[in-house]
Amino acid sequence: MDALRKPFLLLAMLALVLAVDLEVGAGLLLGGGDAGAALVGSAADLGVEVGEVGQVSEPSGRGTGYLALVDAAALWTTGLFCLGLVLPERLHGRVQGVGTLVFSIILIIVAVLALVLAFIELTIMVSLFLAPPFGTLAYLALWGFFPVGDAAVLLGLVLLLKLAWAGLLIVAQPRFLQHKGLVLLILTSLLCTVVLEFLHHLVPVILVSILDSVGALVFAIVALVWALVLLIGAVPAIVKAVRATTALRAEPDPHG
């Protein structure tokens, strides 16, 4: 039986933490650039004269940030592996059941709220874009010039960190490959990252924000599904812990 290589497990946790940090901070790292000149050019293409245009900022988008919802489940699962390094097996089982139950409920609530927010924003985007000329101009001013290049660099770094996380997990314990749920979680995380990068390059730049929001919507749904999986999986662990505690209390005291 292969022994767990603890340093590699901790490095895997560090790689995933860095990836999630980049995703959460995407709103600050992306967007903000001046898109005023691009707005004037797009308005001219639509046959609309807009005159002088002030500062128009590129949007940061939601897609990259919403990846963190999916990776929250991966981060929690990896964290439980690391927690097993310092907690006794019996205590770890109890913490795993109760903690996963609480975490999954929180993730469900956050994912639902994020899903509603992304759906509302996507509806506004599409409604404005399909209402030329002034609705389309309003869309262009708010979301029409997505920083595709910067997002590609950030997503490339995130993907690299996730690959490092997956590789280090396997090096730490090859038997992790027998854990079907973990393998599916890894594949889901990697696939979502690749899909978002694909969406950013699928359409002209003025439409990227719409597909980015579509990606965010999908990621919220995926996170919700994984939260439900964790919630269902936490129930047997809690029942097992309760039974173990009950059986322990029922044992006669040899000193009584």
How confident is the prediction along the chain (256 residues), in pLDDT tens digits per residue? Answer: 467 888 999 999 999 999 999 999 988 888 766 665 566 665 555 555 555 555 556 788 899 999 999 999 999 999 988 887 776 666 666 778 888 889 999 999 999 999 999 999 999 999 999 988 788 888 888 888 888 899 999 999 999 999 999 999 999 989 888 888 899 999 999 999 999 999 999 998 889 999 999 999 999 999 999 999 999 887 766 666 555 545 444 455 555 4
Residue 248 within any structural domain of the chain: no
3-state secondary structure of 34: strand
Nearest CA among 249, 244, 240 for reference residue 101: 240
Residue 230 within any structural domain of the chain: yes
CA 141 to the chain's CA centroid: 27
Residue 219 within any structural domain of the chain: yes
Q: Which domain holds residue 171?
A: 6-49+56-243
C-alpha angle 240-245-249 in degrees, rounded to nearest 5: 150
Report the predicted TM-score, pTM, of the whole model to 2 decimal places.
0.85
Residue 74 within any structural domain of the chain: yes
Residue 140 within any structural domain of the chain: yes
SS3 content of the chain, % helix, strand, coil (to 5): 80, 0, 20
Q: Please, what is the end-to-end C-alpha distance for the chain in angstroms?
A: 41
Q: How many domains does the chain fold into? A: 1
Report, in angstroms and rounded to the nearest whole number, the Rg of the chain calculated over CA atoms: 23
Residue 81 within any structural domain of the chain: yes
CA distance 173 to 187: 17
The CA distances from residue 84 to 6, 87, 103, in Å, are 10, 5, 17
Residue 231 within any structural domain of the chain: yes
Residue 253 within any structural domain of the chain: no
